[in-house]
A = this chain, B = another copy of it.
């Protein structure tokens, strides 16, 4: 991933050094299993960790190029360090293993780390969403469907919807981390041909992983495709929020704005502009995360006990997507931290539709007053159309329509235009969205 969208803590998870280090941890855990089984002397093992340092990683990278095979390169590098001081151990290094035992188990370790970082960042962002919802639970604005004014809503209720989705993504990312934590030490075709089955469990336990129930030469790729989907949906949730803010920041709407620092410049041409570039950027990156998915799923069906058609694109996609998503989560955090919300403008905009957002209340009151639905609908629509044409308040027309006032006295009509009557469910919605109190596990 390009530097611009890379945060160092996630970068570290996917660096060459980390990758090689994770691979060495797998080899080391396997040697421990051999030592416990008395195949190699424990004494040598104690000395081993000290021998494997950063310099090694460097050397490994150099070797790799020559041999054209990453794991063989790593083994040669280690071997050259270990040979003299731990000859037995050297002989048994990688004994009976296949490269993928080391590569996939190491990859799972990286994936667990990546999911942990994503989860932590996402939890923090979910917290910000929650505060925002609480803060604006009574900030009225117009709810819009199809981009058109519908009925009143509060900004807090809108944000509670984001929070409910954020909670679903916490569950998804937790599930993804759990799905990632499977290793595979089963040999060339998954048959444990050259060492006891129990070694796999020992190695995995040592590394904090569980053994893959049935592996081929590799961990079956449906596992990783399942993990990946949690990232896609998290990115989609970010897109939903970013898209909303972009809409709210449109000049004609301007109910909210993403943060804009004093010395930032919006346009090289137009000095007055404040553009929602952070949110636009998030929408663009969500497309990136989403677009990788079909390759990730294509990788599931491999030839026989494995072909290696998956590895080239995984090598790009998983790091790039993890890094980009991590960046997105942080950027969303910044946007939410500095979000400008304009309640006055929200009210002002709501009034632009001249009271038509209350039309359903009137409709239902007419029904309650004994009218049939269709008749009531036509009465309301008739006055709505006049309102729209004349650009004068809906209430005015209703009060002037005897067919209406015959059923609804002025007092009841006016009551339909009271915002408070729209807010009866706010507290419950916030509770259900996990804003004001945790929901039980049942609700997802």
Contact = CB atoms under 8 A, between A and B. Distances in A.
Interface size class of A (residues with CB under 8 A): 35 or more
A332 interface: no
Contact of A188 (B189, B269, B324): B269
Interface string A426-439: 10110011100001
Contacts of A269: 96-99, 187-188, 360, 363
A217 B252 CA distance: 20
Interface string A268-288: 111111111100110111111
Contact of A229 (B144, B229, B261): B229
A422 interface: yes
A143 B67 CA distance: 25
Oligomeric state, in number of copies?
4
A247 B147 contact: yes
Contacts of A295: 287-288, 290-291
Contacts of A62: none
Contact of A388 (B168, B243, B272): B272
A124 interface: no
A47 interface: no
Contacts of A414: none
A270 B147 contact: no
A213 B271 contact: no
A145 B422 CA distance: 35
A92 B429 CA distance: 25
Interface in A392-444: 394, 421-426, 428-429, 432-434, 439, 442-444
A434 to B, nearest CB: 8
A293 interface: yes
Nearest to A426: B191
A12 interface: no
A154 to B, nearest CB: 8
Interface stretch (A49-57, A111-119, A298-306, A335-343): A298-306
A190 B153 contact: yes
Contact of A299 (B161, B247, B273, B287): B287
A213 B270 CA distance: 24
Interface string A304-332: 11111111111111001000100000000
Q: Interface centre among A83, A442, A443, by most B CB within 10 Å? A: A443
A360 B193 CA distance: 9
B243 A301 contact: yes
12 contacts: A2-B316, A5-B316, A72-B268, A99-B268, A145-B273, A145-B275, A148-B274, A157-B190, A157-B191, A172-B226, A188-B269, A213-B439
